[in-house]
Amino acid sequence: MTTWKIDPAHSEVQFKVKHLMITTVTGQFGSFDATVEAPGEDFSNASIKFETEVASISTKNADRDAHLQAADFFDAANYPKITFVSKEVKKIDDENYKVAGDLTIRGNTKPVELNVEYGGTQKDPWGQTKAGFELSGKINRKDFGLTFHATTDTGGVVLGDDVKLLGSVQFIKQ
């Protein structure tokens, strides 16, 4: 079994959601951890565990970040972590995988499927073996209890329901 740990200095975990249905707001989490356990040198049938600290959320707006941590959204005081645990990692071809697993947000666990592009494996200048991945997926925020809703003066929607999940991650072979 090969264990890989995420390299947070070379990784990003982001989300995107429509605001007023005319632009997209991007947020990211600054504090996260992940481990991949792979039975062989490739990542087929790997086991993945990921968690992030809700309090590390950043949308480059302190007021919005505070609102996202409050009970209207993530309720960080009661649900401080978002977690993902894989159930299946399926290799599609040399560069692409499908990862299915359980995502838990705000105490609500739902199945999700992520598209994962394998960027390759490389030794860094310090002799560490690293593997890189780009991942993407989409969830409906309301499925996870993120039901805050507001409308504009003209009845328009302030916040979209679909949230794009994005990650650009490096893992270090242990």
What distance in Å separates the CA atoms of residue 72 and residue 62, rounded to the nearest whole number? Answer: 16
Q: Is the pLDDT of residue 48 over 70?
A: yes
Confidence bin at 132 (pLDDT 50/70/90) = very high
Closest C-alpha to 159, from 174, 169, 149: 149
Looking at the whole model, is its pTM more than 0.85? Answer: yes
Residue 131 exposed, middle or buried by CB count within 10 Å (0-12, 13-18, 19+)? buried
Q: Which two tokens stand for residue 41?
A: 């040198």
Is residue 34 over pLDDT 80? yes
pLDDT at 22: 76
pLDDT of residue 146: 87
Residue 145 structural domain: 2-173
Q: For 65-81, what is each residue's pLDDT tens digit? A: 999 999 999 999 999 99
Report residue 171 CA to chain centroid gap: 15
CATH code of the domain containing 118: 2.40.128.110
Place 21 in a pLDDT band, splitting at 50, 70 and 90: confident
User: What pLDDT, on the 0 to 100 scale, is given for residue 152?
Assistant: 62
What is the tally of structural domains in the chain?
Answer: 1
Beta carbons within 8 Å of 158's beta carbon, 6+ residues apart = 19, 20, 149, 150, 151, 152
Q: What is the pLDDT of residues 137-171, one digit of tens each?
A: 999 999 999 888 766 666 656 678 899 999 999 99
